[in-house]
A and B are shown apart, each in its own frame.
Chain A
């Protein structure tokens, strides 16, 4: 798995877009970028993943830079229920290892 770096915490106003960055400069060519989130005392929840192209689903959008060294998870209209720790993971071929993540707090 690639080493990932994320800011430890971020705040976002309710209804605004939340943009969570992740640096994964050591990611190899065949490793995916995965995003999960964990709400207090629950198991991690899958959000989205991508390899090279930008991806969008009902939860979020994932923007991956052309050199694949970083990505940004976008929650287009953050709600209070999006308050959680967000984990960016590079790899996932053989296992899933977590970094420290970003604690996102959505404020009213």
Chain B
């Protein structure tokens, strides 16, 4: 089945620094990937839609200059949290859809737990 790999699984960074999270579709090509964040005991919140070769589409209230998304190839999307602050600490999850699998929805990565100190 479709596999989405997310790296790193955990990261701790200092306030003011930037952190990059990678999302790879291992056995399929994904023209579209999605980025979510999840706070403790809350549901996943869609942050942005990452489109290969074009600009990402951000959800209302998500700062595009703070959460930089690059989708340079059909198998890789990256999310960079710039000038991180403690309130950016969260669980970030990516997903991708394998269109070759018809309507089988989306495959999710295992998530990245970001802690900003």
List residues of A whose CB falls within 8 A of some B CB.
32, 34, 36, 38, 41-46, 49, 51, 85, 87, 89, 92, 95-101
Q: When the two chains form their complex, are residues B46 and A95 in contact, meaning their CB atoms are under 8 A apart?
A: yes
Cα A79 to Cα B23 in complex, Å, equals 31
B34 close to chain A: CB less than 8 A: yes
A34 touches B105 (CB 8 A): yes
Assembly CA distance A54 to B105 (angstroms): 17
- Measured CB to CB, the closest approach of chain B to A33, in angstroms, equals 10
In angstroms, Cα B103 to Cα A51, docked, is 10
Chain B interface size, as a band, is 20 to 34
Q: Tell me whether B107 and A46 are in contact (CB under 8 A).
A: yes
Q: A61 CA to B91 CA in the complex, in Å?
A: 30
Q: Which residue of A lies closest to B46 (CB)?
A: A97
Q: Which residues in A have their C-beta under 8 angstroms from that of B93?
A: 43-44
> What would 10 more interface pairs be, CB under 8 Å, given A42-B110, A49-B103, A98-B43?
A34-B105, A36-B105, A36-B108, A38-B44, A41-B113, A44-B93, A44-B95, A45-B108, A46-B106, A96-B105
Min Cβ gap B69→A in Å is 14
A104 to B91, CA, bound (A): 21
- For B30-45 the 0/1 string (1 means CB < 8 A from A) is 0000101000000111
Known: A95-B46, A97-B46, A98-B43. A43 touches B103 (CB 8 A): no
Interface residue? B77 (CB, 8 A): no
Q: Which of A46, A51, A85, A97 contacts B105 (CB 8 A)?
A: A46
B residues near A92, Cβ cutoff 8 Å: 103, 105-106
* Inter-chain contact B6/A43, CB cutoff 8 Å: yes
